Amino acid sequence: MKNLNILCMIKRKIKKLVFLGDPNSINIELITKSFNFLKNKVYYILICNKKDLFKSQFFKNSKIKVNEILGPLSFDSYNKKCLNIFNVENISNRKDLNLLNQIRICNELANLTNHDLITMPVNKAVFKKKNKFIGMTEYLGQLNKRTTVMLMCGDKFSIIPITTHINLNNIYKIIETNYLSSILKKILTFLKDPNFIKSFKEIKFLCYNPHCGEEGSLGKEDILIKKLIDKFKKIKGPYPADSAFNKIDKGTLFISTYHDQALIPFKILNKKSVNMTLGLNYRRLSPTHGTATDIKKKYLANNESYLTCLLF
């Protein structure tokens, strides 16, 4: 983990808050297997329902001692030799409501303290059945009444998808509205904030259609995109997405109109990465993977992205 600092030259904060996320995942495995490495490097409080934590076989096998924090705002009674937790009692027999309550408490604490908030993965399907929940980036924006943007920061290059977890049928609509212009303005504003990230050498916008629409014969969207981004001196393009990643640099930020267009090459080519939310009063970070329930009991979870979040 010697090269963690090459991701982003951000001033590291000592104290952090960690939201456990979905217990039915690899989250507890990641937290327990990383404990010894982190305990003398970072002060952090795990925010969770302690019964969920104690039920985990990974936690039982780790034999890690727990120190329950009663004053998370000031880290009262913090013990470096223990896993420090702030217990949030369940408010319902519904998992989605309990997790949403934990997220709200995490958000309040992060706003009050300005400590980084690391959110561990959740299963979005758990929420979507009975709640309006697109993803954590959007939900935190909703809680704070702010526009938020997903920035995936990697050791090879970084990306921002303009749209994240929406149906592909709806993506073209943003190109023909003022939304694209307004969100690009916000992105450039967010990137000026020294608390989040260093300046990028290049910002490249990816074409919406294959081969940039082939002069409009495959669609007019990229013609509209070109006219728009020409108004922004710092944004170049649009570039054909099928060849844009042939030449990559850690100082390059790619902006895509939809999620998988940029996320697929990002996850394949970057060895170390972290998900950041731009637009909040505090830094929200998250590992760049999901709940991975398919390997939950196989002791195979890779903790590099989790460590990257904690060591930022």
Contacts of 219 (CB under 8 A, 6+ apart): 208, 209, 213
Amino acid found at 169:
N
| Tens of each residue's pLDDT in the chain, 312 residues | 444 443 443 344 479 999 999 999 999 999 999 999 999 899 999 999 999 999 999 999 999 999 999 999 989 899 999 999 999 999 999 999 999 999 999 999 999 999 999 999 999 999 988 888 889 999 999 999 999 999 999 999 999 999 988 888 888 888 777 889 999 999 999 988 765 555 789 999 999 999 998 888 988 899 999 999 999 989 999 999 999 999 888 899 999 999 999 999 999 999 889 999 999 999 999 999 999 999 988 889 999 999 999 998
- Report the C-alpha gap between 118 and 196 in whole angstroms: 14
Q: Please list the residue range(s) of the chain that carry CATH number 3.40.718.10.
A: 1-146+280-312, 156-270
Q: Which of 9, 35, 24 is nearest to 310 (CA)?
A: 35
**pLDDT one-digit tens code per residue, 41-56:** 999 999 999 999 999 9
What are the two backbone dihedrals, phi and then psi, of residue 208, each rounded to the nearest 5 degrees? -80, -45
As to burial, measured by CB atoms within 10 angstroms (0-12 exposed, 13-18 middle, 19+ buried), residue 267 is middle
- Report the C-alpha gap between 118 and 110 in whole angstroms: 10
Residue pair 137/148 in contact by the 8 Å Cβ criterion:
yes
Looking at domain 156-270, does it have CATH number 3.40.718.10? yes
pLDDT, mean over the chain: 90
CATH class, 1-146+280-312 region: alpha beta
DSSP 17: E
- 100 three-state secondary structure: helix
- For residue 196, the model assigns a pLDDT of 57
- Report the C-alpha gap between 55 and 117 in whole angstroms: 24
Q: Which of 154, 165, 250, 264 is nearest to 206 (CA)?
A: 264
- Report the C-alpha gap between 273 and 309 in whole angstroms: 9
- Prediction pTM value: 0.89
Contacts of 310 (CB under 8 A, 6+ apart): 16, 18, 34, 38, 41, 42, 44, 118
- Report the C-alpha gap between 24 and 292 in whole angstroms: 9
Q: How many CA atoms lie within 13 A of 271 on its CB side?
A: 4
- For residue 219, the model assigns a pLDDT of 86
